[in-house]
Structure 1
Amino acid sequence: MKKTVALLLLPALLLAGCSKDDVTPDTAPPVVVAPQTLEEQLANADWETTEVSKAVTWKYKRFNNLFNSNQSITILDIDLNAEGAKVDIPYVTSGFLKTSEGAARARATAAINGSFFDTSAGGSTVFFKKNGNIINTTRSGFTTYRENAGFAIGADGAVAVIKKPTQGWSSLSAVPTLLASGPLLVLNDAPVEQVQEAFNSNRHPRTAVGVTEANHLIAVVVDGRFTEAHGMTTEEVARLMHALCCVEAMNLDGGGSSTAWVRNRGVVNYPSDNNKFDHAGERGVATVITFMEE
């Protein structure tokens, strides 16, 4: 009996023998992981990276939580400082030219689709000048915010993204080659506020191009209209281009036109024109921006 009582009292004795000072409460605040900035997300991502040539680097990444969405992004980084680096714009005035066809004709290293075009007859619907000759002027009634930026190539081959002057594109007589498009995304190293219209605020496949302070041309194709790739608004693309160090950037034709091509690999993004998440849905366009080395 005494043995039974002792066993019953043992837990109480043990508890009584423990002072409050022996128990250290966990007063440390919970660890809160700060959300990554867009720049950090891009910098920390495990990009598939291929050095296509001395001047051209191709990168690809699928994100499952960029802008709270699924995103499929192709980047072409062209070092314009590299010897022989050159940018050109093959085009057609009627009918259609696929990005891959324009690139092959130019013997390009890489290429992206250009600006807006007539989907019935072909040819550009926005201002386009090549080697001093005006090929097209912007069609009457064309939405102004979709042609407020210009992709310019100077006589010395220098590339720039410029804002449309008040006097219009024809006033830039000193610029021999210029392709209008829009909206303007980044200007003077700051994202540009976007007009709140469906073209801008809905998510679509997008193609954009920009230049950095270090004289790199950054061409980006964002896939869209798929479960795997939701596409972006122009505000999101503007933030993306700025996060990629572009001090000036502009939107090009998007939707089913958005295409990125790399030599010896073909179309490397996922064009949406065939409604399949594959590389076969390329659409014919009117202008193509090619990157090559002489």
Structure 2
Amino acid sequence: MDFKLHDIETITNNFAEAQKVGSGGHGDVYRATHKGEEIAVKKLHQFQGLDDEEFDSECRNLREVRHQNIVRLIGYCYESEHTCVVDRDGGVYLEQRMERVLCFEYMHGGSLDKYIQDEACGLEWLTCYKIIKGTCAGINYLHSSKGKPIFHLNLKPGKILLDRSMTPKIADLGVSRLAASEKTEETLTDMPHGTLGFMPPEYVNSCLISKKFDVFSLGVIIIKILAGNNGYDNCSEMSPEEFIELVTENWTKRLRALMSYSFQEDILRVRTCVEIALRCVALDRNKRPTVTDIVHELEALEANITIMS
């Protein structure tokens, strides 16, 4: 759906501060209501070098993205405005500004980062597991969508939003890289992507982009869910076996305290997830699994648990 700037200004009260719910490197986000549905309106900052055709093409690509674990793009708007500007000498002239706005479904649960504490995620285990599985499914969809991989390149807990039922949905594909074809899986670039701490070493050192960029970020996210904000730093100081035992032991204590009826199954899920996460953050990108591999591994785990029970 194409929105008119006037209509967006109306439902956001001219981008009123009272309706602002967040700000990021690419724009400010406002809460609004459109045709009875709550939506998130993202007003992008002024970008240099992004022309109308490029923006329109990117929006059309994003509009084709349809998955239960991807935040849905409802519509967009790009219109030019002329505003009066007073220069230093008191002269007045008209300046043309291109306003670009993206409208998404509104996520009432907020972002995952606000639930992750120093030691672990504050959510119960089954919700954590649901978030891990859903995030993996969403990334797998992006990486295999229509044979043209979409690389997110900035995955982190703040980009994983939760709806009322705590279903995770990946947000902010605006910096995603649409590969030209299946053959274009690795590209050298000097464009800045990602967030420090979630970027793989091959990008930090050589600006190399591939599907394994997102896999590394996914591994860091899972570790933070399982072991808290300091989890990734802690795991780098331990052997994989020591870290797996530490995380498993901590979750064992939490689950026993809750007298979980599915205690053994949940511990198996915890151990599997931390093992997957450690493979994802391997320094050698060739040793990292694909997201498809991860999804299949989790599906096989659930099938085995069903047989065991």
Q: TM-score range by the shorter chain?
A: under 0.3
Q: Which of the pair has more CA radius of gyration?
A: 1
Q: Decide which structure has greater helix share.
A: 2
Structure 2 length-normalised TM: 0.21
Structure 1 length-normalised TM: 0.22
Q: Decide which structure has greater strand share.
A: 1
